[in-house]
Amino acid sequence: MSESTVRIGLVLPDVMGTYGDGGNALVLRQRLRLRGYDAEVVEITLGDPVPDSLDIYTLGGAEDSAQRLATRHLQRYPGLQQAAAKGAPVLAICAAIQVLGQWYETSSGERVDGVGMIDVTTSPQPKRAIGEVTTAPMLTGLTAALTGFENHRGGTKLGGDATGLAKVTRGIGNGVGDGLEGVVQGSVIGTYMHGPALARNPELADLLLSRALGVTELAPLPMPEVEQLRRERLRA
Ligand code: GLN
């Protein structure tokens, strides 16, 4: 690994890896390599402190019990919080939104203090949200519909410091009646979309990468298979 290698932190895949969201780190790495950058995925497990020196971070979804372990670890080793405060992009999927928030209630009704990086709170909803979700992005820099697969019981309410990532056009999203999906606050972007999200939404992948690299534009990467999958998902 050289000085110029872009380092992608895959945070706690041992506990936050249930839904295949580790694929987001692979997508980031591949899109960098195809453009000629050196890029590596750095896995941070429960056995490691969390470094604050990586260029970009991603965390995946998990079951309630696993997300509690992750919460405790991130509170004990605040490298992610420090990196985000310095501007490193963080992509949080599903349970990771809940973990990075102020607090969340598990399906059994127990309230757990979150990491406090984003101004959101999460409570279980009467019905689990499962299925395809499609949204219209609200974040500047995104123009294409976002698509993914959601599977969560928690409903996430945004506080005053957080904004939605997108408006739901199909599916449930954050699930508290405001029609929003995901969250944006500072350098953190959260979404309930599995898929993995970045394989299905290359524009979001490139937005994160351009922020990590500090560039305004990246060379286009035409991928007909991805475009076809997107068309199918939007039609389905
Ligand atoms: N355990 C959380 C919930 O059900 C998150 C699930 C997930 O990450 N898919 O809301």
Q: Residues near ligand 1 with C-beta < 6 Å?
A: 19, 61-64, 67, 94-95, 151-154
User: Which of 58, 64, 120 should be mutated for ligand 1, with most atoms under 8 A from CB?
Assistant: 64
In order of 18, 30, 146, 155, 188, the CA distances from 202 in angstroms are: 22, 11, 9, 26, 17
Confirm or deny that 76 is annotated as ligand binding. no
Return the number of other C-beta atoms located less than 10 Å from residue 144's C-beta.
13
Residues 58 and 27: beta-carbon distance below 8 Å: no
pLDDT band at 92 (very low <50, low <70, confident <90, very high): very high
Share of the chain above pLDDT 70, in %: 100
pTM reported for the whole predicted model: 0.97
CB crowding 159-195: b at 16 or more within 10 Å, else e: eeebebbbebbebbbbbbeeebbbbbbebbbbbbbbb
Average predicted confidence (pLDDT) for the chain: 96
Classify domain 6-235 by CATH architecture: 3-Layer(aba) Sandwich (3.40)
Instruction: Tell whether the model's pLDDT for residue 62 goes beyond 90.
Output: yes
Please tell me whether the interface predicted TM-score (ipTM) of this complex is above 0.90.
Answer: yes
What pLDDT does 172 receive? Answer: 98
